[in-house]
Structure formats: structure tokens, C-alpha cells
Homo-oligomer: A and B are copies of this chain.
Amino acid sequence: MQERAPKGTRIAHIGIALESIAPQVAFLRELIGMEDTAVADSDGARITAFAAGESLVELLEPEGSDTPIGRFIARRGPGIHHICFGVDNLEEAMARCRAAGLRLVDEVPRIGAEGKPIAFIHPAATGGVLVELTEN
């Protein structure tokens, strides 16, 4: 029995790595009218999230230099850290990735900042771009 109508693949959220989120918060909230939404902190980062249509924008502040976001900023500067695609069936998408030889960071789904199952794909498998998958 199908409980939810399929939505198709969509952008679930964009994660932006920043040392200081204030300029981006002011821009998103006051200048282009995005609405605050609550998500849990995750992976050593404080997360401030905004809703934009069917997607979220997550501002990621490192809780220390030895965290994934802290290392990203040290290496590359502030910027867009990852993109998370929502798919209708996460386990099936992960199985297709595995069958195609893609390296997964998370071999089994874990619960992400939005409280839904997620899995990261290794950036070496997608041309250097860090991609996360979640279930719609």
C-alpha cells in the first residue's frame, strides 16, 4: 500500500558553510522574505534554516575547526557546502548508486537534521560535489 503520493526528485535543501551567518540571515529573512524553520543541529554544525517553496536553505556554522564544516571553510572558504536531493524511495536510490559503483559515505540511512532518513554520497563519485539524499 502506497501511503504517500510520489513527489519526484526535488531539491530538499542546500547547505551553506559560513563562519558568520548574520549577513546571510539578514538577506534571506529581510530582503527576500524567506521564513525561519526549525531543524536540529547535525554533524558538529549549528544549523539555521529557512523555507523556500519546497526546499530549505540551511546555514551551517561549525562548532569547531575539527568538524566537517570547519574543515571545509579552512580549505575552501565560506560557500555552498552540499546539495540534498529528496527522492521518493531512498533505499532504492542508494541501491542504484551502489550498483553503478558509486561510493557512499553512509552505507545505511541515518536520521538527518530534518528528522528524515538521509545518506551522503562520496564527492569523488559525483565529480567533486558533495551530494546528500533524503526521502521525500
Contacts and interface: CB of A to CB of B under 8 A. Distances in A.
Interface of A: 7-11, 14, 16, 18-24, 26-27, 30-34, 52-55, 57, 76-83, 85, 87, 93, 96-97, 100, 102, 121, 125-131, 133
A128 B34 CA distance: 19
Given A80-B80, A128-B18, A129-B80, A33 B8 contact: yes
A13 to B, nearest CB: 9
Chain A, interface SS category: mixed
Nearest to A85: B32
A100 B28 CA distance: 12
Nearest to A13: B11
Tell me the number of copies of this protein.
Answer: 2
* Residue among A54, A125, A126 facing the most chain B CB atoms (10 A cut-off): A126
A79 B129 contact: yes
12 contacts: A7-B53, A9-B33, A10-B55, A16-B83, A24-B129, A57-B83, A77-B128, A79-B79, A79-B80, A79-B128, A80-B83, A80-B129
Which 9 pairs of residues, A with B, have the shortest CB-CB distance? A10-B53, A78-B128, A80-B80, A23-B127, A24-B127, A11-B55, A31-B96, A9-B32, A10-B52
